[in-house]
Amino acid sequence: MSLTGVTLIKDLRLEWRSKDAINSMLFFALLVVVIFSFSFDPTAEESRQIAGGLIWVAFLFAAVVALNQTWAREIRNQVLDAYRVSPAPANSLFLAKASGNFIFVLVLEALMTPLFVVFYNLRALGPAWQLPIVALLGTWALVVNGTFFAAMSLRTRSREIMLPLLLFPISLPAVLAMVEATTSILTGEYSAKFWIVLLAAYDLVFTTGCLLLFDIVLNAE
């Protein structure tokens, strides 16, 4: 199995044993969802308008909690040094870490979405089958840049705050696309096709960019 697969399996096994990232993330997302539900008490029609924005903002912040933990285990015993000394390519480490985060955030979304549906008694008027596509493309857009900037923020002073500062400006088009696509599907007023194409383009551009540039970030001391 490829090196990326081996590293991914290792990360999933470690996460399964300690579960520290997934627990903190789940609880954080639950808090965000509940707080949003308190602060807004929309009628059915209004809830469809704003639910898209609320869901994705909640998932964005929960994802940042997970992304900040991406390299925590590697930093604890400087395991990255062992990786950098070995002939293993930087990209397989990056892909493994990004896929790991991708799985974590998807699990979070799968658990949290029913809550949103309950709190806002949502029913999609538009083609609901497109929602998973938007979720997959959107989550990868956040996670690929997030993993990259988490590695970059290791080399800065205030690591936890640095990740969102680097991630959010660059993710604005993706976040806008996710929110607009979800809202258009929920309200059924217009088609989400453009946003899905934009998300796919975003994923393509930034996955390539991150793969080409990750080596520089990993080997910056």
Partner 1 sequence: MNATPIAPATTPIITVTDLVKQFGRFAALRGVSATFNAGQMYAILGDNGAGKTTLLRTLAGLNRPTRGSITMLGSNNLRAVCRQVGYMAHPSLLYDEMTGMENLHYFARLYDITDDQRCASVITAVGLDPDLARPVGQYSQGMRQRMSLARALLNDPQILLLDEPFSNVDLRSAREMVLLLGKMRDNGKTIFVVTHQAFLLEGAANEFVWMEEGKIVSRTSHYSPTPGEKP
Partner 2 sequence: MKRVFPILGLLTAGLLSYALYLALVVAPTEQTMGDVQRIFYYHVPSAWTAFLLFFVNFIASVIYLLRRSPKADIIALVAAEVGVVFCTVVLVTGPIWARPVWGIWWTWDLRLTLTLVLWLIYVSYLILRRFSTSGQTPQLAAVLAILGALDVPLVYFSIWFFRTQHPQPVIGGGGSIDPRMMHVLLINWAAFSCFAFLVFWSRYRLEVLKRELEDTQALEDLLESPRSVR
DSSP 11-40: HHHHHHHH-HHHHHHHHHHHHHHHHHHHH-
Stretch touching partner 2 by CB under 8 A, among 15-23, 93-101, 130-138, 210-218: 210-218
Q: Which is nearer to partner 1, 14 or 124 (CB)?
A: 14
Contact status: 157 vs partner 1 (CB under 8 A): no
Q: Is 145 one of the binding residues for partner 2 (CB under 8 A)?
A: yes
Half-sphere exposure of 82 (CA within 13 A, CB side): 7
Classify residue 85 by burial, with Cβ atoms within 10 Å: 0-12, 13-18, 19+: exposed
Smallest separation, CB 184 to partner 2 (Å): 8
Residue 206 interacting partner from partner 1, partner 2, none (CB closer than 5 to 8 Å by kind): partner 2
Nearer to partner 1, 41 or 81 (CB): 81
Burial 11-34 (b: 16+ CB within 10 A, else e): beeebeeeeebbeebbebbbebbe
Q: Which is nearer to partner 1, 76 or 157 (CB)?
A: 76
Beta carbons of 199 and 182 less than 8 angstroms apart: no
Instruction: Decide whether 73 or 159 has the Cβ nearer to partner 1.
Output: 73
Residue 221 touching partner 2 (CB under 8 A): yes
Rounded CA separation 168/155 (Å): 18
124 belongs to the binding site for partner 1 (CB under 8 A) = no
Per CB under 8 A, the list member of 39, 43, 45, 87 interacting with partner 1 is 87
Among 72, 82, 118, 197, binds partner 1 (CB under 8 A): 82
